[in-house]
Chain A
Amino acid sequence: MKHISKRKLSAFLDGEVCKEEKHRISEHVKSCASCQKEVDRLSYVSHSLDAMEEVQASPYFMLNLKQKIIERESKRAIRLWFLEEINRVLIPVLEGMNRILIPAGATALFLVSLLCGSYLGTSIYQIKGLKVLPTREGFDNFFSITLFDNFPEGSLGNAYALLSMEGERQ
Chain B
Amino acid sequence: MEQFLIQKIVDRDEDAFEQLVKEYRHSVLNTIYRYIGDSAEAQDIAQEVFIKVWQHAKNFRGESRFSTWLYRIVVNQCLNYRAKKRESLPILENTISSNSDVSFEDEEEKVAIKKAVNELPERQRIALILSKFEGKSYKEIAQIMKVSLSSVESLIFRARENLREKLLPLIKK
Contacts and interface: CB of A to CB of B under 8 A. Distances in A.
Interface string A55-75: 111100110111011001000
A53 B163 contact: no
B169 to A, nearest CB: 12
Interface string B93-109: 00101100000001001
A41 B162 CA distance: 12
Given A44-B171, A48-B167, A51-B106, A61 B30 contact: no
Interface size classification for chain B: 35 or more
A57 B110 contact: no
A55 B29 contact: yes
Interface string B2-43: 000000000000100010011001100110011000010011
Interface string B102-125: 000010011001100100000000
Contacts of B98: 53
A108 interface: no
Given A6-B157, A61-B47, A65-B50, A51 B109 contact: yes
Interface stretch (A7-15, A92-100, A111-119, A145-153): A7-15
B114 A52 contact: yes
A27 interface: no
A57 B43 contact: yes
A157 B14 CA distance: 83
B89 interface: no
A21 B127 CA distance: 23
Interface size classification for chain A: 20 to 34
B21 A62 contact: yes
A65 B114 contact: no
B54 interface: yes
Contacts of A42: 160, 164
B46 interface: yes
A7 B109 contact: no
Given A51-B110, A52-B113, A45 B51 contact: no
B51 A57 contact: no
A16 B170 contact: no
A65 B51 contact: yes
Nearest to A41: B164
A33 interface: no
A6 B161 contact: yes
A6 B153 CA distance: 11
Given A41-B164, A46-B160, A53 B131 contact: no
Contact of B132 (A49, A54, A65): A49
B51 A10 contact: no
* B43, B117, B131, B170 interface centre (most CB from chain A within 10 Å): B43
Given A10-B153, A51-B113, 8 more contacts: A6-B157, A7-B154, A49-B117, A49-B163, A52-B113, A57-B29, A68-B47, A72-B51
* Among all A-B residue pairs, the 8 with the closest Cβ atoms: A10-B157, A7-B157, A55-B39, A65-B47, A16-B138, A45-B163, A55-B33, A45-B160
